[in-house]
């Protein structure tokens, strides 16, 4: 199957860079990153070649969940700076041709938000119905729904003898989207930032905003099936899209928790009625045995390929996906699926190429372009993440998991693995701060840092730079059809992207041993040229369409069909 090339929106050929501000760059020696620190690194990002920055939340917040607990949607957290700093960031980024995408959390607010402060303890508050309240059942919680962070999803308000719902931390109270006033508040918030010149929004856990209203017990799970992709979610998104997203021409990306392809086809439908694109996480659960995150297990490579194939073919011509390996909630990909010791550089490049040659919009998480690794914390006191400390308490103190075993699990799965500060140079704390960092910097910063990457033409940084440029040069990458060429191969991932005029073949060895990659016989490789590889190139030996790949080697081949038929 081939694909005719179409006119595309800017974000379909773009590469977006995610910044977790608290860990990016500290300009004031306070130990936490800030907006002025981001401004100071815009030229670095311009050199990388990215088109837009996604900022995780910088709003006023008690920071129980690192900013995903917003207490004032209209104010900047003083920890990061002030509104003037943010407006300067917008101006400086736009001057460099870089767009700004803000992260917004509208499934829940902080319990410190004035709406909740008014609602808690007062059934007559005008904001009471902004949240979800239920009476006790037999003197206990309303149902057995579980928080994503462990424990019950309900917290008690003794003054009114009711429980409020919190799908995340108890300090993150879920908003009641059934209330039209809540939806109007959300539109006003988004309009406020769009008026300032913000180019788009990443919508946190946006597919959880519609809950089934009977709040039934879940007899075969943790309750998620009653609020994931809920009954009115598409209605709500279409309403907001028409009212604000389309009015301001915003790019929108929805974070989708435990979703389905069918829903994502509708969320990101090319008619633009809901969202521009979607994040889904199925490919990052291939090292969750039986769906269990808090365990150590090798990843299922065949399943990884199956998931990518399912989403690549399923969204083609139907919707649009965000491509990503890392974010502030996921461990470092080179430590997770690659080899962060002997083949760190090779495997980091291989993983990058494998992702960036797919259809969708790639996201680079800060430090990914350097091949940053998990920090390797050795004590529970080094962790700051609420999910990690909660799970340690539950698994060690309640379930009896040995301390050493849990520490090994956290070293692989904790969200703090990606939140360890950015490594800029070989100065103390990796040049992140001149103060004491809020979270320990990985000890390998003298070897792995931005300055050394910029000084090395063979670094992971420049490989990412080349991948970004390839997407702009070759429309087959952003528009071609997708076909997994070796779905059952246990070492190699090979896929074909195809348009009317070109074929692009990606071949990647996912393991630390040599692999022989035998491509289908009907592929004519005689006219293939190698666009990019992560090893010093040697003449490509092709015999009966078999190509030998070194440990973690990747090759991107391009075939101009006109040359085949000459």
Catalytic pick among 34, 255, 329, 340: 255
CA–CA separation, 452 vs 426, rounded Å? 8
Read off φ and ψ for residue 505, nearest 5 degrees.
Answer: -120, 125
* Burial letters 309-330, b for 16+ CB under 10 A, else e: eebbbbbbeebbbbbbbbbbbb
Half-sphere exposure of 284 (CA within 13 A, CB side): 20
Q: Of 466, 503, 468, nearest to 482 (Cα)?
A: 503
In this structure, the strands spanning 72-76 and 59-60 are: antiparallel
**183 SS3 class:** helix
Catalytic pick among 204, 287, 416, 553: 204
CA angle 531, 532, 538 (to 5 degrees): 100
Q: Of 134, 136, 114, nearest to 125 (Cα)?
A: 114
Question: What is the number of H-type helices and E-type strands within the chain?
Answer: 18, 22
CB atoms within 10 A of CB 546: 11
Read off φ and ψ for residue 94, nearest 5 degrees.
Answer: -60, -35
CB atoms within 10 A of CB 224: 17
Contact 315, 309 (CB under 8 A): no
Helix (H) or strand (E) holding 277: strand 277-279
CA–CA separation, 386 vs 396, rounded Å? 15
Q: Is-catalytic flag, 69?
A: no
Structure tokens at 395: 């698994």
Q: What's 394's DSSP letter? A: I
CB atoms within 10 A of CB 529: 11
Only one residue has tokens 């011509």, namely 317
Q: Is-catalytic flag, 255?
A: yes
* Burial letters 268-296, b for 16+ CB under 10 A, else e: beeeebbbbbbbbbbbbbbbeeeeeebee
CB atoms within 10 A of CB 357: 27
**324 SS3 class:** coil
* Burial letters 172-210, b for 16+ CB under 10 A, else e: bbbbbbebeebbebbbebbeebbeeebbbbbbbbbbbbb
Beta bridge mates, 152 = 146
Catalytic residues: 204, 255
């Amino acid at each position: 199957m081939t694909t005719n090339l179409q006119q595309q929106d800017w974000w379909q050929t773009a590469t977006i860079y995610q910044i977790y501000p608290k860990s990016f760059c500290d300009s004031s020696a306070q130990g936490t990153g800030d907006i002025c620190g981001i401004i100071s690194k815009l030229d670095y990002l311009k050199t990388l070649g990215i088109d837009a920055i996604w900022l995780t939340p910088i709003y006023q917040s008690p920071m129980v969940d690192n900013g995903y607990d917003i207490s004032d949607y209209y104010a900047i957290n003083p920890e990061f700076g002030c509104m003037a700093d943010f407006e300067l960031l917008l101006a400086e980024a736009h001057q460099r041709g870089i767009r700004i995408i803000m992260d917004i959390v509208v499934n829940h607010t902080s319990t410190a938000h004035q709406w909740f402060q008014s609602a808690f303890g007062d059934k007559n508050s005008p904001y009471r119905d902004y949240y979800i309240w239920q009476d006790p059942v037999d003197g206990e919680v309303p149902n057995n729904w579980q928080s994503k962070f462990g424990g019950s999803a309900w917290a008690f308000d003794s003054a009114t003898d009711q429980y409020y719902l919190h799908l995340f931390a108890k300090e993150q109270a879920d908003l009641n989207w059934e209330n039209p006033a809540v939806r109007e508040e959300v539109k006003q918030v988004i309009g406020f930032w769009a008026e300032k010149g913000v180019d788009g929004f990443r919508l946190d856990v946006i597919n959880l905003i519609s809950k089934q209203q009977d709040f039934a017990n879940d007899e075969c799970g943790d309750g998620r099936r009653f609020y994931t992709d809920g009954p009115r979610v598409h209605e709500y998104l279409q309403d907001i899209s028409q009212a604000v997203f389309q009015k301001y021409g915003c790019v929108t990306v929805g974070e989708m928790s435990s979703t389905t392809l069918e829903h994502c086809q509708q969320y990101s439908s090319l008619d633009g009625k809901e969202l521009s694109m979607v994040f889904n996480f199925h490919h990052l659960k291939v090292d969750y045995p039986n769906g269990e995150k808090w365990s150590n297990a090798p990843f299922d490579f065949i399943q990884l390929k199956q998931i990518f194939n399912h989403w690549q073919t399923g969204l083609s011509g139907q919707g649009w996906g965000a491509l990503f390996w890392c974010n502030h909630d996921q461990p470092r990909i080179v430590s997770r699926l690659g080899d962060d010791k002997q083949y760190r550089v090779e495997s980091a490049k291989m993983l990058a190429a494998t992702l960036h040659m797919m259809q969708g919009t790639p996201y680079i998480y800060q430090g990914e372009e350097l091949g940053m690794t998990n920090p390797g914390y050795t004590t529970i006191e080094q962790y700051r993440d609420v999910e990690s400390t909660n799970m340690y308490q539950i698994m060690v103190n309640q379930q009896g998991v040995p301390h050493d075993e849990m520490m090994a699990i956290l070293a692989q799965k904790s969200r703090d693995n990606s939140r360890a500060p950015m490594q800029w140079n070989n100065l103390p704390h990796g040049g992140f701060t001149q103060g004491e960092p809020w979270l320990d910097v990985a000890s390998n910063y003298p070897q792995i840092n931005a300055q050394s990457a910029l000084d090395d033409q063979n670094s992971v940084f420049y490989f990412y730079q080349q991948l970004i440029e390839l997407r702009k040069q070759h429309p087959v990458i952003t528009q071609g059809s997708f076909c997994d060429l070796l779905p059952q191969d246990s070492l190699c991932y090979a896929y074909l992207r195809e348009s009317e005029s070109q074929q692009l073949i990606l071949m990647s060895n996912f393991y630390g041993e040599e692999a022989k990659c035998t491509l289908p016989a009907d592929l004519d490789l005689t006219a293939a040229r190698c666009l990019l590889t992560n090893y010093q190139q040697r003449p490509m030996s092709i015999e009966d369409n078999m190509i030998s790949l070194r440990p973690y080697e990747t090759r991107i081949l391009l075939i101009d069909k006109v040359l085949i038929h000459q």
